[in-house]
Structure 1
Amino acid sequence: MELGSMNQYIRSVELHRESISSFDRYPFCLPAVRNLDNLSLHPNVTFIVGENGTGKSTILEAIAVAYGFNPEGGTKNFNFSSMDTHSDLYGCINLVKGVKKPRDGFFLRAESLYNVATNIEELDKGERGPRIINSYGGRSLHEQSHGESFLAIFMNRFGGKGVYILDEPEAALSPSRQMSMISRMHELVGRESQFIIATHSPIIMAYPNSIIYEIKEDIQAVKYEETEHYQIMKAFLSNTQGMLDILME
């Protein structure tokens, strides 16, 4: 599937299979990685969805690290590390880039947001010029709830003409905040931004100008209504009591 144009920042992801010594070890043993060849990315929004443990965050992390982001999140200027847990998949993929270069970028992970917030405060202690936190809304991220700090980064730090890679943003956001995220994401797409998002959220993945890759035994492009997440949520909301009766038998 050829989606990319020469004008988008990241056109596709290629797995260098010849550089992998064994597909029996993690993360290469994951079906999603084992069957990965070439993944074309949407110029606006690419979603990677699937059950826990299928490898969607592993693939997303590899894309982010291969692009130059810190494995725990932040901009390309962040180089802190609280624990080295990222896989070496990033060294076995190639990112096919377009001719345009982004002016901005961020790798945002709900699970390591605390570490990003801490690093910002540590950097600001040694800064004599404008504080870094000013570009995040001016208020310490540690003085806000998890969801508030996540949204503060999304609303204030993301400025457009950027590559934004998000790992399970719904972990920090309520349903109404997820809708706010869609609205802001649409604004940023209008400012020449590209998003790559791993998510479980049927709300977030409803964004229309996008492609959804669903991971099962391999990675396939699917329509929104075909995703397992959408079908399960629709079935539950359409017949809540019936579903609860089955679950609690």
Structure 2
Amino acid sequence: MHFEDRPYIREIQLKRDDIESFDVYPFSTPSVKELDFLEFHPDVTFFVGENGTGKSTLIEAIAVALGFNPEGGTKQSTFTTSRTHSDLHQYLKLIKSFKRPKDGYFLRAESFYNLATFMDDTGYLKGYGGKSLHEQSHGESFMATLTNKLHGNGLYIMDEPEAALSPARQMAAVSAIHQLVEENSQFIIATHSPILLAYPRSKIYQFSESGIYEVKYEDTEHYVVTKDFLNRHEQMMRILMEE
């Protein structure tokens, strides 16, 4: 594997001069309001932050700008259940490398049920292990997607993939992601999972009320809070349960 093979997407830039007002959604979202550009890691880039800071809004816009269905799936997934995505993708400039991915997927926890229904309706289940996603648990269907649908040499966008996964399966997901990275793949992932965030070949961007900035794993709130809770769980529970 050579570094020049990736990243497939090097950077995004916000076309700020084209935006009429930063007082309306999605431009009023804290992270978007302060965004100029973001550079991506050739292997994995994580977005982390509290709900409402804009990480899912931005990752959705990146996926749509790349040609993916806003509800998830491949670029050939043409179903629509409702139009809820923003127009942010129209204001993003994508800086790509000369190398194009041979595979791609947008895995979105929020609308994965709709994707599973589309797959059942079309009968195209071979890429998911040949079994209806609705006949599997949420976690099983996510893992079936990771291990069967993604073939490597790909650009994969994921929004909170840990939503359906137990801690053990989150660790299995890390293994699957690493295998795909070894097969010349690049990931952009919005997550709350301290397990996924531990993947070392990555860059972590913290989304906050003051904007977006790069952080080390050990400095993320996810790591600090989880470690503190596990080390002092009895004391923490007493504090949390106090009236």
Task: Calculate the TM-score normalised by the size of structure 2.
Answer: 0.96
Q: CA deviation at 1:244?
A: 1.3
Residue by residue, what CA displacement relative to the aligned partner does 1:75-132 show, whole Å, maximum 9, x if unpaired?
00011110100011111101100000111000001111111111112222xxxxxxx2
2:21 is matched with which residue? 22
Answering whether residue 225 of structure 2 is matched by residue 232 of structure 1, we say yes
Q: CA deviation at 1:7?
A: 3.8
2:49–2:192: 8 Å Cα contact kept in structure 1?
Answer: yes
Aligned with residue 179 of structure 2, among 182, 187, 211? 187
Aligned with residue 203 of structure 2, among 200, 204, 211? 211
* Alpha-carbon distance between aligned partners in 1 of 2:175 and 2:161, rounded to the nearest angstrom: 14
The one-letter code matched in structure 2 to 1:49 is: V
The one-letter code matched in structure 2 to 1:183 is: S
What percent identity do the matched residue pairs reach?
58
Aligned with residue 214 of structure 2, among 221, 241, 247? 221
Q: CA deviation at 1:198?
A: 0.1
The one-letter code matched in structure 2 to 1:219 is: I
2:127–2:149: 8 Å Cα contact kept in structure 1?
Answer: yes
1:149 is matched with which residue? 141
* Alpha-carbon distance between aligned partners in 2 of 1:94 and 1:122, rounded to the nearest angstrom: 35
Aligned with residue 242 of structure 1, among 227, 235, 238? 235
Alignment of 1:81-92 (within 5 A): 81-92=80-91
1:103 is matched with which residue? 102
* Alpha-carbon distance between aligned partners in 1 of 2:4 and 2:202, rounded to the nearest angstrom: 14
Q: CA deviation at 1:6?
A: 7.3
The runs of 4+ residues in structure 1 deviating greater than 3 Å are: 4-7
Residue by residue, what CA displacement relative to the aligned partner does 1:221-246 show, whole Å, maximum 9, x if unpaired?
11000001110111101101111122
Alignment of 1:116-127 (within 5 A): 116-124=115-123
* Alpha-carbon distance between aligned partners in 1 of 2:86 and 2:73, rounded to the nearest angstrom: 18
* Aligned positions, number: 239
* Alpha-carbon distance between aligned partners in 1 of 2:238 and 2:27, rounded to the nearest angstrom: 40
* Residues 107-116 or 194-203, more deviating: 107-116
Could you list the runs of 5+ residues in structure 1 that have no partner in the other structure?
A: 125-131
Could you list the runs of 5+ residues in structure 2 that have no partner in the other structure?
A: none
Aligned to 2:125, the other structure's residue is in SS state helix
* Alpha-carbon distance between aligned partners in 2 of 1:28 and 1:15, rounded to the nearest angstrom: 10
Residue by residue, what CA displacement relative to the aligned partner does 1:167-205 show, whole Å, maximum 9, x if unpaired?
001111100000000001110000000000000000011
* Alpha-carbon distance between aligned partners in 1 of 2:136 and 2:110, rounded to the nearest angstrom: 16
Aligned to 2:218, the other structure's residue is in SS state helix
RMSD (Å), alpha carbons? 1.1
* Alpha-carbon distance between aligned partners in 1 of 2:166 and 2:157, rounded to the nearest angstrom: 20
1:5–1:43: 8 Å Cα contact kept in structure 2?
Answer: no
